[in-house]
Structure 1
Amino acid sequence: MQHFSATDPTPRSLGFAMPAEWQPHAATWMSWPADDELWFGHLAGVREEFAELVRTIAHFEPVHLLVRDEESEADAAARLGGANVKFHRVPLDDVWMRDNGPIFVRNAGGEVALINWRFNAWGGKFDWQNDDRVPEYVAGALNVPHWDLPVVMEGGALEMNGDGVCLTTRSCLLTDTRNLGLDESKYADWLRAFLGVSKLLWLDGGLENDHTDGHIDTITRFTDEKTIVTSTEADPNDPNHAVMQKNLDDLRQMTDAHGQPFRIVELPLPANYLEGAEGRLPPTYANFYIGNGFVVVPQYGDPNDQRALEILQPLFPNREVIGLPSRQIIEGGGSFHCVTQQQPAGAIWKP
């Protein structure tokens, strides 16, 4: 297993870039929930919803599941039965694999490597030391070459279209608790060099009371190279209304890597206000996960649940769009995209 640093030849210089999520996967990586205190007493319900999510994904592609300890592994094994899941015993702080896990890159020959960014629990909000080591574990488990970088970066902060364009939010990346001194231009340099991003597009902010400071994957997603689905809030008195409207207006002015406008599709936020242990929760349908032949969409027992599925299904004509319950998972502040990380299909790179 070969390590590279920020001063070695970059992935971009070697022909690597981060593929779009809808490109073929070798597997999905996840972590099993284990701490009842972190879930505000909802762990049993969270595990029930997690099990349904893991079983659904495993029906379409292999799942690598990190488990903290013997109890977690036994619980997961009992709930998952004979699903296509491989267990890995790894020290963990939490389950948000999208943010603390590796980001995979692939070259034109179809070979795969990974990037080990730093993780600090969204600016030091929670414990992170164990979760920050997960990319190194994954690299070792796969024997895949990887770059170890000094920059804090969360996968949920980045939305890629597979053609050089990345969407992100200022409210998240420009906080001084992540990478003090990095401005929009410097972020663009890092993402160009290590993920192959040729055009970085910025929205201002995300959902109210989102502890990630407004991750893009909770509000605005690509469904193909040219199409963006973005969250909207119809109630002008709701604090999310103005932010989502500004995002919508900005997206309509943006263009792709070739100077062409995007197709913008509006996706309503859930109609009901959800309250958690620490105030308002940030439920959203945009936190779907795209895999081999499927898309899983969080559902909250909300009047807009079915409408969200009806909007998303035509955007994924060759995939089964599946609604699964996430009312318990959202108590932790995220949903399906936040707890998954795709491993692109391809042979392991042999430099």
Structure 2
Amino acid sequence: MPAEWAPQSAVMLTWPHPGTDWFHRMDDVEPVFMAIARAVLRFQNLLISCEQVFRAEQLDRELNQWARQHNLPGRAHCVAAPANDTWSRDHGPVAVMTPDGLRLLDFRFNAWGGKFPWEKDNALNQHLATAGCFGDTPLEKVDFVLEGGSIESDGEGTLLVTSECLMTPTRNPEYDRAAIETLLGDTLGAERVLWLNHGYLAGDDTDSHIDTLARFVSPGHICFVRCEDPEDEHYPALNAMEEELRQFRQADGTSYRLTPLPWPDAIIDDEGQRLPATYANFLIINGAVLVPVYDVPQDEAALITFREIFPDREIIPVPCRPLIEQHGSLHCVTMQLPAGVVEL
């Protein structure tokens, strides 16, 4: 499985529509998707699926006209396809390199253990393949529930995952940890699987996806969320997670370089529930990193940290406060596709 910083051809978005849980927040959330789309087009292509045919045609015209006017390298390919929701990271295809070239794996998606409707999302990748969106890259079904947000790859055979997510019985109850490791080896080429047994984010529907907690930023470097407030409910779990990260070793036996990310102030919704704001939910694309920001004092410190981590990439803040109202963020609504998949 390639690392996220490997060359990409496109980023996949599943556009919100009134039939999703966004129906009463469309005016708030569509500008977030538009900001992501325009940021991506500055560097590479977009593949956008829309439930509504008219919206797909409208976006195709609008985004491509804007890209041409600004002489950008990216183009948008917008297609009509049914979807229950907008979380491309989890229902999108997972790319792997094989001796015969690229393949896209279509793992089963069941909305994080059956929490929400999922049938349209589970069929979305096949709709896109049938429409020719992936070119000559084959799409292969895998009879295993796995979301893209639950796996982090260093591109060299090591995966970072959480046991809270992958071992949840509502996903693959017949698989124990050894069987999951075997499957990840067979499908994603994982030679090593690093399991985090701690880590927690209030308001998270995913059972502790790794992309909300800790991320590879190079093969030997992991960034992670750190909570320094003993009064915060996250403090015990995240400190235990940090200690686990310190115990991990690279394939050559050396420790990982670890960079903590700022911990944003608590963001509470209208019902008094804490929302899952995390700076770990960033997206690496060609030449840039898109960083979620939440209109809290820690945003600037987060951007400074990312500029230090990625000195050769442009750091682009994307206001993601509306996204966390539905318990996800920037990385959750995007899925990168490697170079060679989408050529426009």
TM-score normalized by the length of structure 2: 0.91
Match of 1:180 in 2: 173
Deviation of the 1:181 alpha carbon: 2.3
Match of 2:30 in 1: 47
> CA-to-partner distance for each residue in 1:238-258, whole Å, 9 max, x for gaps?
111111111100000001222
Higher mean alpha-carbon deviation, 322-331 vs 339-348, is at: 339-348
Inter-partner Cα distance in structure 2 for 1:201 and 1:28 = 27
The 3 A distance-change label for structure 1 pair 182 and 239 is: same
The 3 A distance-change label for structure 1 pair 46 and 347 is: closer
* Residue pair 2:53, 2:79 contacting (<8 A) in 1 also: no
Inter-partner Cα distance in structure 1 for 2:99 and 2:262 = 37
Inter-partner Cα distance in structure 2 for 1:272 and 1:128 = 30
Match of 1:72 in 2: 55
* Residue pair 2:214, 2:280 contacting (<8 A) in 1 also: yes
Match of 1:119 in 2: 109
1:120 is aligned with what amino acid? N
* Residue pair 1:269, 1:304 contacting (<8 A) in 2 also: yes
The 3 A distance-change label for structure 1 pair 289 and 139 is: same
Aligned positions of 1:138-217 closer than 5 A: 138-140=128-130, 141=132, 142=134, 143-204=136-197, 205-217=199-211
Inter-partner Cα distance in structure 2 for 1:120 and 1:336 = 21
Deviation of the 1:75 alpha carbon: 5.8
> CA-to-partner distance for each residue in 1:36-56, whole Å, 9 max, x for gaps?
761372221100111011110
Deviation of the 1:317 alpha carbon: 1.9
- Equivalent position SS for 2:229: coil
* Residue pair 1:156, 1:215 contacting (<8 A) in 2 also: yes
2:252 is aligned with what amino acid? H
Inter-partner Cα distance in structure 2 for 1:86 and 1:136 = 16
The 3 A distance-change label for structure 1 pair 278 and 126 is: farther
- 1:34 maps to which of 5, 10, 17: 17
Percent identity for Structure 1 against Structure 2: 37
- Equivalent position SS for 1:27: strand
Match of 1:130 in 2: 120
The 3 A distance-change label for structure 1 pair 198 and 278 is: farther
Inter-partner Cα distance in structure 1 for 2:270 and 2:103 = 39
Deviation of the 1:315 alpha carbon: 1.2
* Residue pair 1:34, 1:72 contacting (<8 A) in 2 also: no
1:115 is aligned with what amino acid? L
> CA-to-partner distance for each residue in 1:206-265, whole Å, 9 max, x for gaps?
312200111000111010000000001121111111111111000000012222210011
The 3 A distance-change label for structure 1 pair 295 and 347 is: closer
> CA-to-partner distance for each residue in 1:250-283, whole Å, 9 max, x for gaps?
0000012222210011112212333255822101
Deviation of the 1:136 alpha carbon: 1.7
Match of 2:70 in 1: none
- Equivalent position SS for 2:234: helix
Match of 1:223 in 2: 217
Higher mean alpha-carbon deviation, 330-339 vs 32-41, is at: 32-41
Inter-partner Cα distance in structure 2 for 1:37 and 1:31 = 11
Higher mean alpha-carbon deviation, 271-280 vs 230-239, is at: 271-280
- 2:311 maps to which of 285, 293, 317: 317
Match of 1:13 in 2: none
- Equivalent position SS for 1:270: coil
* Residue pair 2:15, 2:50 contacting (<8 A) in 1 also: yes
Deviation of the 1:76 alpha carbon: 3.5
The 3 A distance-change label for structure 1 pair 234 and 79 is: farther
Deviation of the 1:79 alpha carbon: 6.1
* Residue pair 1:99, 1:155 contacting (<8 A) in 2 also: yes
Match of 2:276 in 1: 282
Inter-partner Cα distance in structure 2 for 1:185 and 1:157 = 17
Inter-partner Cα distance in structure 2 for 1:342 and 1:246 = 31
Match of 1:97 in 2: 88
Listed as ranges, the gaps of 5+ residues in structure 1 are 1-17
1:130 is aligned with what amino acid? K
Match of 1:267 in 2: 261
Inter-partner Cα distance in structure 1 for 2:341 and 2:224 = 34
* Residue pair 2:17, 2:23 contacting (<8 A) in 1 also: no
Inter-partner Cα distance in structure 1 for 2:263 and 2:54 = 36
> CA-to-partner distance for each residue in 1:46-92, whole Å, 9 max, x for gaps?
00111011110111100010011135326645764533211011011
Cα RMSD (Å): 1.9
Match of 1:8 in 2: none
Higher mean alpha-carbon deviation, 277-286 vs 168-177, is at: 277-286
* Residue pair 1:198, 1:257 contacting (<8 A) in 2 also: no
The 3 A distance-change label for structure 1 pair 216 and 337 is: same
> CA-to-partner distance for each residue in 1:289-347, whole Å, 9 max, x for gaps?
00000000001001100101111112112210111100111111111111111111137
Inter-partner Cα distance in structure 2 for 1:121 and 1:305 = 30
Match of 1:15 in 2: none
